[in-house]
Amino acid sequence: ALGMLAYITDLRCVEPIKTQQIEAEGHDLESLLYHFLDEFLFLFSAEPFFIAKNVKILKFDKENFRITAEGVGEIFDLSRHPQGTEVKAITYSNMQIFDSINKHECYVIVDI
């Protein structure tokens, strides 16, 4: 989520003032990842235009493909936050999730 949000603005300029909680679910890990990222994109794209500086996973149900997370950040303000690249959507194109005992990685392409 932070990698995606860093396209939108320089996260070093975002203050940890406010929190927003999201919940997402899917039918497999890829759809869960898609919906998780889409929730954070929606928070930014709709009023009040919230941008998270930090994201904390509160609940992660890998068997039922549900996640609850909290973003800490603030309302986007063009006078203080540099405008980066607009992220239009999350895509399934070439989405990859690597999950092993010692390593957890995901690869996601966003539509800009």
First to last CA, the chain: 15
* Low-confidence winner among 26-30, 38-42, 97-101 (lowest mean pLDDT): 97-101
CATH architecture of 1-111: 3-Layer(bab) Sandwich (3.55)
Residue 7: which H helix or E strand, with range? helix 2-8
Burial class (CB in 10 A: 0-12, 13-18, 19+), 11: middle
- Model confidence pLDDT, tens digit, residues 63-99: 999 999 999 999 999 999 999 999 999 999 999 999 8
The dihedral sign for the CA sequence 108, 109, 111, 112: positive
| pLDDT value of residue 58 | 98
**Mean pLDDT score of the chain, rounded to an integer?**
96
Percentage of the chain surpassing pLDDT 90? Answer: 96
| pLDDT value of residue 26 | 98
| pLDDT value of residue 50 | 98
The answer to whether the beta carbons of residues 44 and 71 sit under 8 Å apart is: no
Residues in the chain: 112
With 0.85 as the threshold, say if the pTM is over it.
Answer: yes
Domain boundaries, the chain: 1-111
